[in-house]
A and B are shown apart, each in its own frame.
Chain A
């Protein structure tokens, strides 16, 4: 095992796998899909030799239900996939949330809809943050921006999942999964410190506890409502304590860019271009997407700051930004929300993001509209070129 501070060169996918192993991941179930293929390969190599549970399932729907079964026993368990595969997993994710089971989900996102392409994209924001399956639920979503955060966030995801009894998703994309950077790996988790799971199945005979029934079913509407209300009370605590956001260079800036993951790196590059020209632009980077840092954005809006959302999608996170700016702040009239992005597996360039920033600062950019696809001059909205 490398020294504590030894820096290794790893792919993001490998760092997520190693982060999981160091967190005590005891079982991993997968189905092949690009661009996350290094994760199952890494897990197969390192789990089988340690006699941990590695299983390549017959489908994504099967893999997530294997996660469900293993999570029901109280084990630390993970699956990983990419966008089309995550769509298939939504059935199981809804069940995991309905049965309050912890697990870790990794999505190394690619472009859609449908089969789409295999290049990086952020079009899974809605699916990831709004509960992509049926029913009323949320789960924590973490958004790493580099290989270091791939290791750290995946490692921490297991603790969060156990603490809050919910799936925790690490939402990366093909760029972060495939690129190589230096990483200092977290120290392996002391497994004697893991939270007890008195709700798990198994070993009943040794404890004489009441029998445990892991289930999401409740056919009595009043009972189901009570269970969902209890879950949402927990969600409120998660919102209060687990919102993760980094603000950089916002004090002097009239304009603040908002982006997560790969997009935040592009935004930061654009901010450096601006700095070189004497223009200060801030960056607000959500490190987690659910819960979302509404309050931090509202606060900036009340200072009259303008926002530029940078996304690798047609504009999804921007709807949360609009909620934070528009619905919550009477004093945010000077604030406005703008968008620059690319979709289809393209990454916006620092130059085009900076160009958009300059348009906003010059008063030549039209704010984003939720209520229509046409600009005021009648031209169609389009992300990117």
Chain B
């Protein structure tokens, strides 16, 4: 009988250091499945940022470059400009992308850099222990927002909707938001990733897939509760779907 579901070649067969219920493992798998399907394993470079996904270079059976916190899109720019025929994946969390690295993300997008950013949004700083992130929801508790994120009295700002912000930039071609909360959304997210990677390899412009991902440890929830909270609380703020798709227009 033919095996229809195999371990991706581009994914190292290793138990990850990620916490139970964390979304990174599923997202790593989706990326590596697409890399395999496109036949790009020996032609791919992953940029792993500072944050939990700094471990990504342990799990991707591809070349990788670890960048300073937030500078991931700048380092990816340097890589992609030199290796134009390679798949370059800029893997970032919400703190890396939407706080310390906002300028790098915005300007890479505006230049239409021809790499793909995978933006894992779990609304919290994971590795450092659950501090408030730029995407933390209003009222959501964090180590540095013990009473919940309060944009008014405490002046903690509002959750940044990265894709909607980047959609205004002419250099962006494909911006989609998926989620790993359910099998159907996992499959949709994989299609977004595949579209983005194919667009990158055709040199169409900047592509980003944001993925809502649970962080049970720092949300203080059990994995199943975390998935429910993601659906009930995050999705209304960060709606799923293709936020911008100009791939047909620029063919």
Contact = CB atoms under 8 A, between A and B. Distances in A.
A145 B107 CA distance: 37
B152 interface: no
A218 to B, nearest CB: 11
A65 B80 CA distance: 13
A62 B103 contact: yes
Interface residues of A, number: 40
Contact of B81 (A59, A65, A70, A92): A70
Given A62-B107, A204-B43, A215 B64 contact: yes
B64 A214 contact: yes
Interface residues of B, number: 32
B57 interface: yes
A212 B57 CA distance: 9
Given A202-B63, A217-B54, A53 B104 contact: no
B78 A68 contact: yes
B110 to A, nearest CB: 9
B240 interface: no
Nearest to A216: B66
B42 A57 contact: no
Interface string B69-93: 0010011111111110010000000
Nearest to A26: B82
B63 A65 contact: no
A213 B66 contact: yes
Contact of B78 (A29, A99, A211, A215): A29
Contacts of A70: 78-79, 81-82
A62 B71 contact: yes
B67 A27 contact: no
Contacts, number: 126
Contact of B104 (A62, A204, A206): A62
B26 interface: no
B68 interface: yes
A211 B104 contact: no
B79 A95 contact: no
A27 B82 contact: yes
Contact of A214 (B42, B65, B104, B106): B65
Interface in A74-102: 75, 77, 91-92, 95, 99
B45 A201 contact: yes
Contacts of B67: 65, 68-69, 95
Given A55-B77, A69-B76, A69-B78, A213 B71 contact: no
A67 interface: yes
Nearest to A67: B78
A58 interface: yes
B62 interface: yes
Contact of A69 (B57, B63, B77, B107): B77
Looking at A58, A62, A70, A92, the one whose CB has the most chain B CB atoms below 10 A away is A62
Interface in A5-59: 26-27, 29, 53, 55, 57-59
Contacts of A217: 54, 66
Nearest to A72: B65
B78 A201 contact: no
Interface of A: 26-27, 29, 53, 55, 57-59, 61-63, 65-73, 75, 77, 91-92, 95, 99, 201-206, 208, 211-217
Given A202-B79, A213-B65, 14 more contacts: A26-B82, A27-B78, A29-B78, A61-B68, A65-B67, A68-B68, A68-B71, A68-B78, A70-B81, A91-B68, A95-B67, A201-B79, A205-B42, A211-B63
